[in-house]
Chain A
Amino acid sequence: MVHVSMAVNGRQASADLDPRTLLVQFLRENLRLTGTHVGCDTSQCGACVVHVDGRAIKSCTVLAASCEGAQVTTIEGLAVSGKLHPMQQAFQDNHGLQCGFCTPGMIMAAVDLVNREGSHIDEAAIRHGLEGNICRCTGYHNIVKAVAQGAREMAALPKAAE
């Protein structure tokens, strides 16, 4: 067993874990934050994307132990004081989700994409930037529209998201 401690959505969280425990398992099973999903076993689908120290990572591919002391944000931590993050709102406004399973990872990846590429990101760059997130329902058309709107709205936020 290994003792792991990190901040998740602003709160300290710690546990004694089997060293093989993935970050996504720690989030889902120990902290019961089930918004982060597991969709594959080869790090490709992106359903597990969270932010660790401000950057998007695939939580299925990182050991909880290697996040010792990190600041982790999951989909549950994106809305602030009950107010949706503009990217979340954009997904609803643009019907950017159907079954919702890929959605948390998609939103987290999109926020990170905009953080890195800026708020004027165009369609081609959005499509390329979401290569690590698979959706089977939407055909991506509305996801692209959602990300473009979310990007514009993020620019209007008082400070950078996170």
Chain B
Amino acid sequence: MSATGIGASVKRKEDIRFITGKGHYTDDINRPGQAYAYFVRSPHAHATIDKIDASAALKSPGVVAVLTGADTVADKIGAHVGGVTVYFKDGSPLKTGTFPALAHGKALYVGDPIAVVIADTYLQARDGAENVVVEYGVLPAVVDTASAAKPGAPQVHDFAPNNTTFNWHLGDQAATEAAFAKAAHVTKLDLVNNRLIPNAMEPRAAVGDYDEGTDVTTLYTTSQNPHLARVVLSAFQGIAPENKLRVIAPDVGGGFGSKIFIYNEETVCAWAAKKIRRPVKWTADRTESFLTDAHGRDHVTHAELALDASGKILGFRVHTIANLGAYPSTFWSIVPTWLYGPLLSGQYNIPAIYLEVDGVYTNSAPVDALRGAGRPEATFVVERIVEKAARETGSDSAEFRRKNFVASFPHQTPVVFSYDVGDYAKALDKALELADYKGLSVRKAASAAKGKLRGIGFSAYIEACGLAPSQTAAAIGVGVGQWESAEVRVNMVGTVEVLTGSHSHGQGHETTFAQVVSDRLGIPIDSVSVVHGDTDKVQMGMGTYGSRSGAVGLSAISKALDKIEAKAKKVAGHLLEASDQDIELKDGKFTVKGTDKSIDWVSVALNAYTAHKFNGQELEPGLKETAFWDPKNFTYPAGVHICEVEIDPQTGVVTIERWTAVDDFGKLINPMIVEGQVHGGVAHGIGQALMEAARYDSDGQLLTASFMDYCMPRADDLPSFKIDTIETPCPSNPLGIKGCGEAGAIASPPAVINAITDALGHEDIAMPATPQAVWRAAQKAVTKRAAE
């Protein structure tokens, strides 16, 4: 392994601009003559929009235009549709409508944009918006996930009776019932997976800029997938050919899924810039981010686990109600179905599983993928019920899991997925050692002596990422294709540009992708640059989400490098007067096997372009190759996280004393970056477990709409983490990569809750386990112990 090749913890090339304040985030971009947009948003969760009077706003200083839903209809700006179709049990498709750029006729959640004021300055647009007079007919709102489908609830959409968008199922109901019929023990658990707000530190923003001379609209936007944005926006705004819309996602300050979706505001900026013939800029303030970024999670679940007398799992049945919010966001319906159900086997050999999911509409922000997207929800159910089953049967938490682990591969689960490779016991053993599990009882006693409660919690998670084989994706309702593209351009002077359809919004691709090229071609990493995020530069790509940039994006690069190597060897063959079959490429040198005849990379590159040492009709000049990689399978990262907490029963404060993670991500390109992904994911999951919750009141008002009311994890809420890995290389892609971006967020919440309930003496506790909630549970536990 070289100092800059695969497996090296190379420092990031992109850091320089970020640490010196020279990044180019969307709000940093300013176009000459730009106007500023401010959205008028519904203050009601459910209301008819009876009248919009913009006359006073239009007379406000600096206001250039006020646009409403009626204008989108007049200009034939199509309302978006959800990108995924899932089906009812009877095979009929989900009940869905459209997601208009500006609400027209009805507002369906607090924050729903109904008009946009465009003015010369931001403050003028904001002041102008206050002068837009809207008459609403307020209607009762439906907010609660568990009761949204019950008779009598206010209806969000006329086309969805009982607010039901789908009743979906997965697995073998008959086999599962049979398993429960012969169970020696059944563990039951009711859980809520609390609704989260993504809160990437960069608020969403967009700048639309129309060039009359070329009829090209350029849209700068905070997107994880600029090409998908272009496909959708060009189709729904009637921009043809597609390249008359250029989408640029420059530096993006975090996404976590929230910046995948095609939102109202970027749609409006693209349209309005062409309409008013001035650039239109919009940046969310944090309250708007809270109100309108797609929220995550929000499941209510009843689960039951059937065991035999020896503690082996026989069957698992789950019923989940999943809140989708008011409108169909881009990936929406796949998150609580195909990204959730197939993970319910966990790391365990479970013969029979049956899942039912009811998707419901409520008068709340649309719900869509958020770091883990379905897999944290699955892991929370699995690892909480497995823990409860272990405790109910008097088993050690680790050994109960080990007894039920899948031990031979490939392993076909009863819920679609076949796990290709893994070594779950090895990760468990390593985690137990790193966490000093043996010393726990001593530490528990020491805490007790101080009047504190210490507990430990396990999470043995598996996830499915590296989205996805395109045919499989289409079969489950994602028709857009889930391959990734790479174009490797070798320049005349031997430098290399990699144009990738992946997008980096913190993942470090400018470094890791360059490492792969540097390693393969044996050239300095500084001579490799990575290009992403601009639909004018990269032809087409699927973007970054679902932990796919390594498994899919780098696989495309690897395939393109295969082609580069083959072509370069042909050129080298001409220069060295040998067959390309006899040429080896190593450390940036082409050598004829068994001889000392060699030529360096730079000379080969130069000759490929000067083309005078070979017949340019027999061998095309140039050295540039493209590859599209369609995954053969999902990848299956897995691991064990162990959380150890100490609780002060007087205050309910939970301190995470130690966090141990042993993950199997297959081959690691840059261990430093992988660890960083785990740190961030674990922090995100700890936030969910201890402090984060999006709360609406019964009128549908978002009570947690700022950092005052929605608690984000801060440095002093978290410990340092002990992160390690094992490696079972992924067999389905050339580099053996499984992916690591979401695993921490998937693994962590059940580990935290398992630890707290262990410390408290096995009371259940809901997320977030705030000090108030923990204090209450601790009092109950004290009372219960006193009574025993």
Task: Give the B-binding residues of A (Cβ under 8 A).
Answer: 18, 20, 28, 32-42, 44-45, 47, 74-76, 78-79, 84, 88, 91-93, 95, 97-104, 107, 123-124, 126-128, 130-131, 133-144
Contacts and interface: CB of A to CB of B under 8 A. Distances in A.
B718 interface: yes
A144 to B, nearest CB: 7
Contact of B19 (A32, A97, A127): A97
A47 B254 CA distance: 13
B253 A99 contact: yes
B706 A136 contact: no
22 contacts: A35-B23, A40-B286, A45-B707, A76-B21, A88-B20, A91-B19, A95-B672, A99-B201, A99-B253, A99-B506, A100-B14, A100-B17, A100-B18, A100-B19, A101-B253, A123-B720, A127-B718, A128-B716, A130-B714, A134-B712, A139-B718, A142-B676
B252 interface: yes
Given A99-B253, A131-B716, A138-B680, A76 B25 contact: no
Interface residues of B, number: 57
Given A75-B19, A88-B20, 20 more contacts: A28-B27, A35-B23, A36-B21, A37-B202, A40-B286, A44-B707, A92-B16, A92-B19, A95-B673, A97-B15, A98-B680, A99-B506, A101-B202, A128-B716, A131-B715, A137-B201, A137-B506, A137-B680, A138-B680, A142-B679
B38 to A, nearest CB: 14
Contacts of B287: 41
A152 B5 CA distance: 30
Nearest to A47: B201
B199 interface: yes
A132 B162 CA distance: 45
Contacts of A103: 18-19
Contacts of B254: 98-99, 101, 136-137
B250 to A, nearest CB: 12
Residue of B21, B253, B256 with most chain A CB atoms under a 10 A cut-off? B21
Interface in B678-726: 679-684, 706-708, 712-716, 718, 720-721
A136 B720 contact: no
A33 B21 CA distance: 8
A18 B252 CA distance: 30
A84 B17 CA distance: 11
Given A39-B201, A130-B715, A136 B707 contact: no
Interface of B: 11-12, 14-23, 25, 27-28, 30, 123, 199-203, 251-254, 256, 283, 285-287, 505-508, 672-673, 675-676, 679-684, 706-708, 712-716, 718, 720-721, 744
Given A107-B19, A130-B714, A141 B286 contact: no
Contacts of B11: 92-93, 95
Residue of B15, B27, B30, B713 with most chain A CB atoms under a 10 A cut-off? B15
Nearest to A105: B201
Chain A residues touching B, majority SS: loop
Contacts of B17: 100
A44 B708 contact: yes
B683 to A, nearest CB: 3
Contacts of A36: 21
A19 B348 CA distance: 63
A93 B286 CA distance: 31
A125 B63 CA distance: 49
A92 B12 CA distance: 7
A158 B686 CA distance: 41
Contact of B718 (A33, A95, A128, A140): A140
By Cβ-Cβ distance, the 6 closest A-B pairs, closest first, are: A35-B21, A101-B253, A100-B18, A139-B683, A99-B506, A139-B679
Residue of A88, A95, A131 with most chain B CB atoms under a 10 A cut-off? A95
B256 A136 contact: yes
B201 A42 contact: no
Contacts of B672: 95
A121 B708 CA distance: 28
A124 B721 CA distance: 14
Contacts of A130: 714-716
B15 A144 contact: no
A93 B672 CA distance: 10
Contact of B707 (A104, A134, A138): A134
Contacts of B14: 100
Contacts of B16: 92
Contact of A136 (B23, B123, B200): B200
Nearest to B683: A139
Contacts of A38: 27, 203, 283
B290 to A, nearest CB: 10
A127 B16 CA distance: 24
A34 B707 contact: no
A75 B203 CA distance: 20
A99 B27 contact: no
A74 B19 contact: no
A104 B20 CA distance: 7
Nearest to B254: A99
Given A99-B254, A144-B720, A136 B201 contact: yes
A133 B507 contact: no
Nearest to A145: B720
Nearest to A126: B715
Residue of A20, A97, A124 with most chain B CB atoms under a 10 A cut-off? A97
Contacts of A42: 286, 706-708
Contacts of A84: 19-20
A152 B680 CA distance: 25
Contacts of B714: 130-131, 133-134, 140
A97 B507 CA distance: 10
A28 B684 CA distance: 30
Contacts of B23: 34-35, 100-101
Nearest to A82: B20
B676 A102 contact: no
Contact of A135 (B201, B286, B505, B508): B201
